[in-house]
Structure 1
Amino acid sequence: MKVKSMTGTDCLLTNVRLSVVPPSPVTDQIEIEIRGSVRNPGESSETFETCVYLDTVRQESLLYREQLEVPANGVRGFSLRHRTLGWVGKHTLLMEVTAGSQTRRCQQVLEVLASDTRSTRRISGAWVGLLHWSEAEGAYWNPELAQFTAADWREHVRGMHAIGMDTIIIQETWRNPTWYGIHYHQMTEANYRTIYAGRAFYPSSLWPGRMDLPCADPLEAILDETDRLNMQVFLGLGNYAHFDYTPGSLAWHLDVLRELWSLYGHHPSLYGWYVSEELNGWIKPHEMRYWDRIDEFRAEVLTFFETLHGAIRSLAPHTLLMMAPDSHHHADAADTWQQLLHHCDIVCVQGYQRAPADGVPAAEVIRRMQGWCDAAGAHHWIDLEIFGFEHPGVTEPQRESVSRILPDGTTDFIQTPLIPQRMDLIRAELNQLSAFEYVCAYQYPGLLAAPGCRLKPGGTRAVQFYRDYQAYWKRLKQAGISR
């Protein structure tokens, strides 16, 4: 979300930020979070009168007022929540910060749609994998993505914006194809800085490895374009090792967080941080041979998120931390989930569209997770899978992947190409899964491609899916409601 300076001078108020969660547009059936931060670059502590107004700067429009004491060279954040009922229409949220005789303002646009459900029934954001981690799954995407220049990334961002997908989740900023466990790597908190062998998608000074791509800094290209278009971006903190939340992984993530903030924190579209490692619903190691360490693993997960969340609050309290766990077996880790959700701002769950692996109906799982999120103050979003798996000898995209059971009982998923799902199925699922305040999709590159782009990852199927979704989105937008 773009922060616009409206008044003020270059004084102590050099960094005033405002975020709205979820981003606009939203329905009149939810509670939004308004989050802001004030940074003090001065050499002494300062008190800043901080106010938030709806539409106009006057007393009757005041939503929040607080005297924020910000330490020297420090930052303070604030958060408030407000129901959107009665707010149908287009609004501007105004943040005004005053120090002495100097005032600075920033703003966010908020459109509220009349609805009988929490969901807008639109896909408002999408993951962007800069190069798919699996050559098999990305068989129809990676050849084109490997040719992307900065201009191509900007063009892709504009294609997303043109169909209302204004939130981008960068899947990962580092590529390191290894997994949790001693059978995969020997990294620890003591040695990771020496032996980490991942490759960066940006010009990092932490480790020398680089992805061999024409665009030296796709993060800068994307963030610069999203600044211009008033969009939002989550940067992927990862990958250290898939499903790994050990002390070494935590230390690595803190290093990368600080570097990414130092390089890209000036971008107003930097909205938050996504943990790339992923997490299963029952919060266990991903392979059964490590299940003698379940208690240790869950303790590591809790420490990881509590520490990382605290670091983000200290560094950039207007930004958000997001994870995307799967939708199965949540009840097996109920106590851990209810603790964990206090240390993660957004839980964007994947797999609600799939057949439930634990036999629990999706509607029940959604209600339970929503209750846990409400109690912890976390946001419950959905990671809508707009892809299908290509099965050998089958022409239609399949919702379930190809898999087999290994001798130790672990389910082994066999990688096959991902292709766009049928639009009639996605339309039906957007209507069925209407309990979510925000819908993101996995993923944009390779499954959707604007017809005018120079390169079209996913080819003609991705272009057709883009056109199909665009027609659906335009009908909703023209109606002005989400019913």
Structure 2
Amino acid sequence: MLAFPGSMQATPDTVARSDFSVKLKPISGSWFEFQHSASEGGNWNSALAQFTADQWKRKVFEMKEIGMEYIVLMGVALDGKPFYPSKIASQIPMACEDPLEAILSAADECGIKFFVSNDFWGNLDAYTMMIDKEIRKRRFQSMEEITEKYGHHECFYGWYFPNEAQLQPYFIDECIEYVNACADFAQRLTPNCVNLIAPYFIKEARFDERFVRQLEKMNIDIIAYQDGVGVNHTSLDNSAKYYEILYKAHEKASRARLWADMELFYFENGNEGNLLPADFNKRIIHQMKNISPFVDKILCYQYIGIMNKPGTDIIAGHPDSLRLYEQYSKWYNQYKKIK
């Protein structure tokens, strides 16, 4: 796979932190789900389940309209059942016969680059899915099947390996083995594809030789670390210093590009419950400000359910998702004028 020299990393800005326009990076993409876990996706799961192929396509165009260049599909399956017609297991019932085909076709038309997931072929325990041999077998079967069915799409930019890794403060050996096995298999199937992972718990990040060596060993093109603000792992005041640590480690490793996975939500009940949209002006703009100096791209978790364009028939989420769309859209339109 490709190695990226330090010169390709983002260079920290020296502009005053009050600069909200030119130096801030916009949201370049988002994670994307057909269904979320029932405990957190209560505001949008039922609506998404009823989307037609046309509605899924228009949702992708809606994301393009607001500046999204990348979409990262969280899962091609949930609890071992696929969202697309598959020979591996019975499909999750939805109104759209093949939502994966619908969104990839839309991405072809509007020029969005897609990272396609290769999981969840087991329960949502990341460690179990990393090491379980049967899940690994189904995962690789699905990658072969997905490549055969959908590999012709121009938007098929890369693969996302969704079993989240926690910095403890280092990657566990099983995570590195899992990532490299997925990357090797993906490269055989789709040699020109790019791969992506999104670890969490950045407050444990270290800039030392051990972590740098781990980055050098991982056959990964892009690492988009979760900022952890939405899940309360990271305070808004401290996220910048953690990304600076990661920036230094990636610059020294000269391996994976450093991106961000910025959380747009907060929990309805403290640290649990449905995900609700945060306020752009009170919180998200400050997340962008902290992250922008140190990363190449800011992706978000997530547009689906947390942002919705008003006045459409494809609204899935809490009413505050309309407010967040309007807030970010106003900022983004100003950004485009100044850019």
TM-score relative to the length of structure 2: 0.84
Shift of residue 368 of structure 1? 2.7
Which of 120, 127, 131 does residue 246 from structure 1 map onto? 131
Which of 297, 318, 322 does residue 438 from structure 1 map onto? 297
Shift of residue 199 of structure 1? 0.9
Pairing 1:204-283 to 2, within 5 Å after superposition: 204-207=86-89, 209-241=90-122, 242-243=125-126, 244-246=129-131, 248=133, 249-282=135-168
* Contact kept? 1:223, 1:233, Cα under 8 Å: yes
User: Secondary structure, in 3 states, of the residue corresponding to 1:470?
Assistant: helix
Residue 319 of structure 2 corresponds to 460
1:388-423 deviations in Å (ceiling 9; x for gaps): 2123xxxxxxxxx42xxxxxxxxxxxx311111001
Residue 322 of structure 1 corresponds to 196
Q: Which residue identity lines up with residue 109 of structure 2 in the other structure? A: R
Query: Would the alpha carbon gap of residues 246 and 465 (structure 1) be closer, same or farther in structure 2, given more than 3 Å must change?
Result: same
1:300 equivalent to 2:174? Answer yes
Shift of residue 335 of structure 1? 3.1
Residue 34 of structure 1 corresponds to none
1:472 equivalent to 2:334? Answer no
CA distance in 1, matches of 2:53, 2:40: 24
CA distance in 1, matches of 2:199, 2:23: 20
Q: Which residue identity lines up with residue 368 of structure 1 in the other structure? A: I
Query: Would the alpha carbon gap of residues 346 and 119 (structure 1) be closer, same or farther in structure 2, given more than 3 Å must change?
Result: farther
Q: Which residue identity lines up with residue 166 of structure 1 in the other structure? A: E
Shift of residue 373 of structure 1? 2.4
User: Secondary structure, in 3 states, of the residue corresponding to 2:91?
Assistant: coil
* Contact kept? 1:338, 1:372, Cα under 8 Å: no
CA distance in 1, matches of 2:233, 2:77: 31
Shift of residue 237 of structure 1? 1.3
CA distance in 2, matches of 1:453, 1:233: 24
Shift of residue 272 of structure 1? 1.1
Q: Which residue identity lines up with residue 346 of structure 1 in the other structure? A: I
Q: Which residue identity lines up with residue 244 of structure 2 in the other structure? A: R
Q: Which residue identity lines up with residue 173 of structure 2 in the other structure? A: A
CA distance in 2, matches of 1:132, 1:337: 34
CA distance in 1, matches of 2:86, 2:203: 36
User: Secondary structure, in 3 states, of the residue corresponding to 1:157?
Assistant: helix
Sequence identity (%): 25
CA distance in 1, matches of 2:160, 2:209: 22
* Contact kept? 2:262, 2:299, Cα under 8 Å: yes
Residue 188 of structure 1 corresponds to none
Which of 220, 232, 242 does residue 365 from structure 1 map onto? 242
Query: Would the alpha carbon gap of residues 84 and 338 (structure 1) be closer, same or farther in structure 2, given more than 3 Å must change?
Result: closer
Which of 222, 237, 249 does residue 346 from structure 1 map onto? 222
User: Secondary structure, in 3 states, of the residue corresponding to 1:278?
Assistant: coil
Which of 1 and 2 has greater Rg?
A: 1
Shift of residue 453 of structure 1? 2.4
Q: Which residue identity lines up with residue 141 of structure 2 in the other structure? A: D
CA distance in 2, matches of 1:79, 1:268: 23
Query: Would the alpha carbon gap of residues 119 and 312 (structure 1) be closer, same or farther in structure 2, given more than 3 Å must change?
Result: farther
Shift of residue 331 of structure 1? 3.9
Residue 256 of structure 2 corresponds to 378
Residue 284 of structure 2 corresponds to 426
* Contact kept? 2:207, 2:245, Cα under 8 Å: no
* Contact kept? 2:250, 2:256, Cα under 8 Å: yes
* Contact kept? 2:4, 2:257, Cα under 8 Å: no
* Contact kept? 1:202, 1:218, Cα under 8 Å: yes
1:327-360 deviations in Å (ceiling 9; x for gaps): 24234997367325531111111135366579x9
User: Secondary structure, in 3 states, of the residue corresponding to 2:319?
Assistant: helix
CA distance in 2, matches of 1:146, 1:343: 35
Root mean square deviation, CA, Å: 2.9
CA distance in 2, matches of 1:317, 1:439: 25
Shift of residue 312 of structure 1? 2.0
* Contact kept? 1:203, 1:217, Cα under 8 Å: yes
CA distance in 1, matches of 2:169, 2:6: 32
Query: Would the alpha carbon gap of residues 334 and 443 (structure 1) be closer, same or farther in structure 2, given more than 3 Å must change?
Result: farther
User: Secondary structure, in 3 states, of the residue corresponding to 2:139?
Assistant: helix
Shift of residue 146 of structure 1? 1.3
TM-score relative to the length of structure 1: 0.60
Residue 189 of structure 1 corresponds to none
CA distance in 1, matches of 2:8, 2:243: 22
Query: Would the alpha carbon gap of residues 116 and 299 (structure 1) be closer, same or farther in structure 2, given more than 3 Å must change?
Result: closer
* Contact kept? 1:120, 1:438, Cα under 8 Å: no
* Contact kept? 2:212, 2:250, Cα under 8 Å: no
* Contact kept? 1:173, 1:200, Cα under 8 Å: yes
Q: Point out where structure 2 has 5 or more consecutive residues left out of the alignment.
A: 16-21
* Contact kept? 2:208, 2:249, Cα under 8 Å: no
Query: Would the alpha carbon gap of residues 299 and 281 (structure 1) be closer, same or farther in structure 2, given more than 3 Å must change?
Result: closer
* Contact kept? 2:107, 2:155, Cα under 8 Å: yes
- How many residue pairs were aligned? 318
User: Secondary structure, in 3 states, of the residue corresponding to 1:416?
Assistant: strand
User: Secondary structure, in 3 states, of the residue corresponding to 1:390?
Assistant: strand
The structure with more strand, counted as a fraction of residues: 1
CA distance in 1, matches of 2:307, 2:121: 28
Q: Point out where structure 1 has 5 or more consecutive residues left out of the alignment.
A: 1-76, 86-114, 177-197, 285-296, 392-400, 403-414
CA distance in 2, matches of 1:150, 1:261: 21
Shift of residue 143 of structure 1? 1.8
Residue 42 of structure 1 corresponds to none
CA distance in 2, matches of 1:422, 1:454: 23
